[in-house]
Amino acid sequence: MKVLVKCAIVVKILLMLAFLSFSEPILAVSALGNLSNGLFFEARLDADQHTHIHLTELEKNWLKRFNKEIKLAPDPYFPPYEFFDSEGEYCGIGADYMKLLQKKTGLRIRIVRYKSWAEIIGAAKNKEVDIIALAASTAQRSEYLNFTQSHFSIRAVLITRSNVTSKLSLDDLKGMRVSVAKDYVWYDLLSSKYPDILIDTVPDALTGLRKVSFGLSDAVLASTAVSSYYMKQEGISNLKVAGETNFLVPLSIGVRRDWPELVSILNKGIALITEAEKEEILNKWIFHIERPFYQTGKFWNLVLLTFLVMTLLIAIILFINYRLKGMVRSKTLALREEQNHLTNTNQKLQRALIKAAESDRLTKAFLANISHEIRTPMNSIMGFSQIIEMGDLSAVDRSYYAGQVVRSGQQLVEIINSIVDISKVDAEFIKPHLENVPIHSMIEDVVDLYQQRAEQKGLKIMIHLPNVSVFDVIETDVVMLKQILNNLMSNALKYTLSGKISIGCQWTGGMIEFFVADTGIGIPQEYIDSIFEPFVQVEDNGRLQAGGTGLGLTLAKRLVQALGGEIRVDSSLHQGSTFYFTLSLENGKNRSAI
Ligand code: ADP
């Protein structure tokens, strides 16, 4: 938001700069507009109001009599010296001079408009025109006009088509057709000094330029500024200045001959025009026209403005780019996190799917096995019960068969209990109930249970707790943990004929690992991978005598998994087996908790 406000301020400043750079010509036009009012060119001061000009009595009297509507006839086609603009207002060097003179002398001047210079000359001869702002003093004109001192000079140049390659002077144009405006001073000079040139009189310089452009005339003789003004203004591009002439003519104000007092008043006014004022007028009209665009202040203002706008745009683009990059970065990060999350969820789902499929497979296998395993003791019960029922048995036989029925019944109960236990763990009916369990005493409790049976078999039970202190506790479910150790201990006792049984645990990293090792008959290698699956029993005579359901290790594995750990076995036939299992403990935080 702050950035937007800053941008708005900068844009506002730029717009103000733009306005300032373009406002100059607008002001200039309005100043020009104030100069004349339609065809009237009103003076702001009355003759007796001016204080800066010293007039003779004669001049003052003249002013009183004639200073009402001094008729000034500007040449309509003499730009930039004088002309009427598109609004019909009198403009140019002459107009600016006359404006200054009015201020300095208090003359009241009225603009009268004629169609051509020739008409103006005609009207001047008849005294319908009182003054001409810009006129060359010639002998012919002196018959009906007086002239003030000169304001400035103009030089004539020769304009030809651009395909004329050599530099030309008037001497080169003998027998050629040269256009020149009727009654202009150039006409008088040309006709008197170059009689061999075919003069083509035209109403004004523009007509002459057009004729040369269309090939109707060989050259046109006109003043430098007028030619360049028209060529530029009218877009005549096939013309060029082929050469200069030595026609340098001073221009003055022409005044009707019977008003010599006005000449002296104007001369006093001209004397008061400063060099700076003259320069300003010439700069405004001549320099303005001829100066190439790239040299103008407007051009440089435009360059500056463009530069500022471009800089601002680039800054805005860079800023937006920076913000977008930031947004893309954070969006990418968020997407990446979401992607990771989805990948994790997907992996979990896949694992769950595999587990579900596996569990489904196991459940089916389990059920198939259950029916088989249950049928065996049930068949025994049924068979022996039927024999007993027949009644034709000795007391010894009956007691033997009855004993078989009881053993089969016990096995059945054992199987059903184990199945129920496994199912409860699987279905998460039994959930770990965590409590602080002191390791030493818990192991001693387990050992106590088996001590007597071990002694009867002549086996030693050893406890190994290499890096476990008597104060160490773990947070786990003590019932489940004891159940696991009991199953492993009972197997060790069952399958060990001599030697010893070791029980213990040790810290490994942040984990605790329990083990039960024996020096028993061992497990053949081909059973190692499947020994934890339900109803898997190694088939050899020694073991069959030991009995069992084939569910003890299955239950132990399910309980270890419920406590977040893993179980494995190392075994060598006739040498012994070692069962290891870990428990999940958060960074061993339970170690030495007391
Ligand atoms: P069972 O009730 O048959 O002992 P278990 O699931 O506990 O069922 O054990 C599966 C089989 O693994 C046993 O039948 C036995 O052959 C073998 N077994 C288990 N523990 C040991 C051991 N410590 N030494 C040798 N064999 C073992």
Instruction: Convert the pLDDT of each residue in 542-576 to its tens digit.
Output: 665 667 788 999 999 999 999 999 999 999 999 99
Nearest C-alpha to atom 7 of ligand 1 is from which residue? 552
How sure is the predictor about 50, in pLDDT bands with cuts at 50, 70 and 90? very low
> In b/e form, how buried is each residue of 378-398, taking b as 16+ CB within 10 angstroms?
eebbeebeebbeeeeeeeeee
Ligand 1 centroid from CA 542, angstroms: 11
Nearest C-alpha to atom 21 of ligand 1 is from which residue? 491
Q: Per residue, what are the HEC states of 201-262?
A: EECCHHHHHHHHHCCCCCEEEEEHHHHHHHHHHHCCCCEEEEEEEEEEEEEEEEEECCCHHH
Ligand 1 centroid from CA 485, angstroms: 14
Ligand 1 atom closest to Cα of residue 576: 24
Contact by Cβ (8 Å): 150, 251: yes
Distance CA 516, CA 505 (A): 9
pLDDT of residue 14 exceeding 60, the answer is no
Amino acid residing at 485: L
pLDDT of residue 491: 95
Ligand 1 centroid from CA 385, angstroms: 30
Strand 460-464 and strand 219-223: pairing?
Answer: unpaired
Ligand 1 centroid from CA 252, angstroms: 138
Contact by Cβ (8 Å): 94, 111: no
Ligand 1 centroid from CA 523, angstroms: 8
Ligand 1 centroid from CA 143, angstroms: 151
How sure is the predictor about 319, in pLDDT bands with cuts at 50, 70 and 90? very high
pLDDT of residue 1 exceeding 50, the answer is no
Counting ligand 1 atoms within 8 A of each CB, the residue from 416, 419, 487, 491 with the most, and so the one to mutate, is: 491
Counting ligand 1 atoms within 8 A of each CB, the residue from 494, 515, 532 with the most, and so the one to mutate, is: 494
Q: Specify the 3-state DSSP secondary structure of 466.
A: coil
Nearest C-alpha to atom 20 of ligand 1 is from which residue? 491
In whole angstroms, how far apart are CA 7 and each of 14, 48, 306, 315?
11, 59, 16, 10
Ligand 1 centroid from CA 537, angstroms: 6
Which residues have C-beta atoms less than 6 Å from ligand 1? 491-492, 495, 518, 520-523, 531, 536-538, 543, 548-554, 577
Ligand 1 centroid from CA 381, angstroms: 24
Task: Output the furthest CA–CA distance in the chain (Å, rounded).
Answer: 184
Contact by Cβ (8 Å): 151, 271: no
Ligand 1 centroid from CA 378, angstroms: 22
The residue among 354 and 365 whose pLDDT is bigger is 354
pLDDT of residue 593 exceeding 50, the answer is no
Nearest C-alpha to atom 16 of ligand 1 is from which residue? 538
In this predicted model, what pLDDT tens digit does every residue of 448-504 receive, in sequence order?
A: 999 999 999 999 999 999 999 999 999 999 999 999 999 999 999 999 999 999 999
pLDDT of residue 164: 85
Distance CA 191, CA 187 (A): 6
pLDDT of residue 32: 30
Smallest CA-to-CA distance from 514 within 479, 551, 484 is with 484
Ligand 1 atom closest to Cα of residue 537: 14
Cα-trace Rg, the chain: 63
DSSP 8-state symbol, 287? I
pLDDT of residue 51 exceeding 80, the answer is no
How sure is the predictor about 29, in pLDDT bands with cuts at 50, 70 and 90? very low
pLDDT of residue 509: 78
CA 496, distance to chain mean position in Å, is 78
Ligand 1 centroid from CA 548, angstroms: 8
pLDDT of residue 182 exceeding 70, the answer is yes
Contact by Cβ (8 Å): 160, 239: yes
Smallest CA-to-CA distance from 275 within 133, 156, 100 is with 100
Counting ligand 1 atoms within 8 A of each CB, the residue from 459, 493, 495 with the most, and so the one to mutate, is: 495
Ligand 1 atom closest to Cα of residue 579: 23
How sure is the predictor about 592, in pLDDT bands with cuts at 50, 70 and 90? low
pLDDT of residue 19: 41
pLDDT of residue 291 exceeding 70, the answer is no
Q: Specify the 3-state DSSP secondary structure of 533.
A: coil
pLDDT of residue 347: 92
Residue 514 phi, psi dihedral angles, 5° rounding: -95, 160
Nearest C-alpha to atom 8 of ligand 1 is from which residue? 550
Structure tokens at 100: 């200054």
Q: How many CB atoms lie within 10 A of CB 474?
A: 25
Ligand 1 centroid from CA 522, angstroms: 9
pLDDT of residue 534: 87
C-alpha count within 13 angstroms, C-beta hemisphere, residue 12:
6
Bridge partners for 443 per DSSP: none
Ligand 1 centroid from CA 9, angstroms: 88
Counting ligand 1 atoms within 8 A of each CB, the residue from 421, 537, 568, 581 with the most, and so the one to mutate, is: 537
4-18, 38-52, 213-227, 300-314: which has the minimum mean pLDDT? 38-52
pLDDT of residue 21 exceeding 60, the answer is no
Contacts (Cβ under 8 Å, ≥6 apart) of 499: 459, 460, 518, 519, 520, 576
Counting ligand 1 atoms within 8 A of each CB, the residue from 417, 519, 553 with the most, and so the one to mutate, is: 553
pLDDT of residue 414 exceeding 90, the answer is no
**Most trustworthy range by pLDDT among 1-5, 411-415, 422-426:** 411-415
pLDDT of residue 25: 31
Mean pLDDT of 230-259: 89
How sure is the predictor about 357, in pLDDT bands with cuts at 50, 70 and 90? confident
Distance CA 25, CA 262 (A): 34
Ligand 1 centroid from CA 457, angstroms: 18
Mean pLDDT of 51-62: 84
pLDDT of residue 327 exceeding 90, the answer is yes
Ligand 1 centroid from CA 550, angstroms: 7
Contact by Cβ (8 Å): 219, 196: no
pLDDT of residue 376: 84
Smallest CA-to-CA distance from 157 within 132, 183, 178 is with 178
pLDDT of residue 158: 92
Nearest C-alpha to atom 4 of ligand 1 is from which residue? 548
| All structural domains of the chain | 2-141+260-337 (3.40.190.10), 152-251 (3.40.190.10), 431-591 (3.30.565.10)
Ligand 1 atom closest to Cα of residue 543: 16
pLDDT averaged over every residue in the chain: 85
Ligand 1 atom closest to Cα of residue 550: 8
What interhelical angle do 552-562 and 478-494 show, nearest 10?
150
The residue among 49 and 143 whose pLDDT is bigger is 143
**Most trustworthy range by pLDDT among 69-78, 232-241, 578-587:** 69-78
Single pTM value for the model:
0.45
> In b/e form, how buried is each residue of 334-352, taking b as 16+ CB within 10 angstroms?
eeeeeeeeeeeeeeeeeee
31-35, 359-363, 492-496, 519-523: which has the minimum mean pLDDT? 31-35
Distance CA 470, CA 435 (A): 17
pLDDT of residue 546: 64
Nearest C-alpha to atom 2 of ligand 1 is from which residue? 548
How sure is the predictor about 52, in pLDDT bands with cuts at 50, 70 and 90? low
The residue among 288 and 560 whose pLDDT is bigger is 560
What interhelical angle do 93-105 and 2-35 show, nearest 10?
70
In this predicted model, what pLDDT tens digit does every residue of 101-137 receive, in sequence order?
A: 998 888 999 999 999 888 999 999 999 999 999 998 8
Ligand 1 centroid from CA 412, angstroms: 18
CA 271, distance to chain mean position in Å, is 66
pLDDT of residue 511: 87
pLDDT of residue 332: 94
Mean pLDDT of 175-187: 90
> In b/e form, how buried is each residue of 295-323, taking b as 16+ CB within 10 angstroms?
eeeeeebbeebeebeeeeeeeeeeeeeee
Ligand 1 centroid from CA 577, angstroms: 10
